[in-house]
Structure formats: C-alpha cells, structure tokens
Amino acid sequence: MAAGKNAAASILEQMGYACIDADLAGHKAVENASGKIFEHFAEEAKKKGLSLRNEDGSVNRRALGEVVFSSPQLLQAHEAIVYPETERIIREFIEEKQKDSSVPGVVINAAVLYKLPDILRQVQFVLYVDAPVIMRYFRARKRDRLSPKKILERFASQKNLFAKYQNSNADIQRVWNTGSRQRLEKKILKILAALQS
C-alpha cells in the first residue's frame, strides 16, 4: 500500500504496455458478486452500525473494507468470494491484449498477486515496488485520507508481502521507490534492459 505501484504501472503504460489495475478489477468483481457479499457480511456490518449498500444498490466499498479488514477470518471469507471473479476478469484482459501485436506485454498492477496463483504462474516476472514504511504511511494519509488506525490495519493485512512472493517461486525484481517519478522510471528501465539482454 502506497509504495508506488500505480506510478510504476503508469510508467509502463506510457511505454506501450497494456496495464490492468487488479484493484479496479477487484471493484468490478465486488459488484459482480454483490449478492453473495450482502448475504455473507450484512450481519457483521449491522453489528458495526454500517450499511453495505449504497442508495443506488451498489456495494459501499468503504463500509465493506471496515468490515473485512477487522479480522483475518472476515478478510479470508471476502477473498474467497471476490478473488475467483477478479482472476477471471484479469485472465480475460490478458487474453484480449495478447492478440494485439502492437502491445509489448501485459502489466498487472497488484499488491496481492500471490493470492491469484493461476495468474501468477503466467507472469514472466514480478516487479516488486517497495518503499520504507514511514514514507508509505504519509503517502497513504495524503492520498486516501484514512485514519492512522485504518492505515495501520491495512499495512498489517499486507505484512510480509515480499516473503510471500519469494515463497511463490516467481522471478522477483525489487525496486525501491524513494525518490521522484523520474528516478523510478530509470530504475524500471534498467531492470527491463537487464531482463531483455
């Protein structure tokens, strides 16, 4: 969270790569699975005084986040509902873009790609964008306007991500995003050049 995945994806998109944001695919998956979500989490939301349904009938993702990030069991239940649909959406995107010979490759912008093992097995390498925790904290505060408690809860849910990717046996290229966008772009270009040589 707030390490610079979106900046890296934007840089790669400017280079011609087709990019899909797994968070946005996840949002679409949430709407596609809204019936199951309402059914499974309504009682827990009610206990917290939250409504999972917006006025237009769509899922209130902020309220859903408050519910599912409140316990590992609820997060796991949410993932079991949403991840298969997210995986389907991403797979369709990959298949469509691979038909386009003008596209040099497909980029999946995702923090928890290791939780989509069928997709992860298809990737050539993982570009793991990282930054110090304190830097990520202040970026998240500025970007998302969440309370310190909510940010720390989300950080805790993503604890030891790098180790989880190492355990997946994926080819991992780690890049530290501690400076400007231009510095990040140079680092990415260097990694791509080394991989293509």
Helices (H), the chain: 5-14, 22-32, 34-47, 61-68, 72-98, 117-120, 133-144, 148-157, 161-167, 181-196
Residues ≥6 apart with Cβ < 8 Å to 147: none
pTM here is 0.84
pLDDT digit string, tens, across residues 71-103: 999 999 999 999 999 999 999 999 999 999 999
pLDDT digit string, tens, across residues 20-52: 999 999 999 999 999 999 999 999 999 999 999
CA distance readout (Å), 126 to 10, 12, 75, 155, 156: 16, 13, 24, 20, 22
pLDDT at 160: 86
Count of beta carbons in the 10 Å neighbourhood of residue 80: 11
pLDDT at 13: 97
pLDDT digit string, tens, across residues 142-192: 998 888 998 998 888 788 888 888 888 788 999 999 999 999 999 999 999
Task: Return the closest-CA partner of residue 15 out of 127, 128, 103.
Answer: 103
The residues pairing with 176 across neighbouring beta strands, listed in sequence order, are: 130
pLDDT at 12: 97
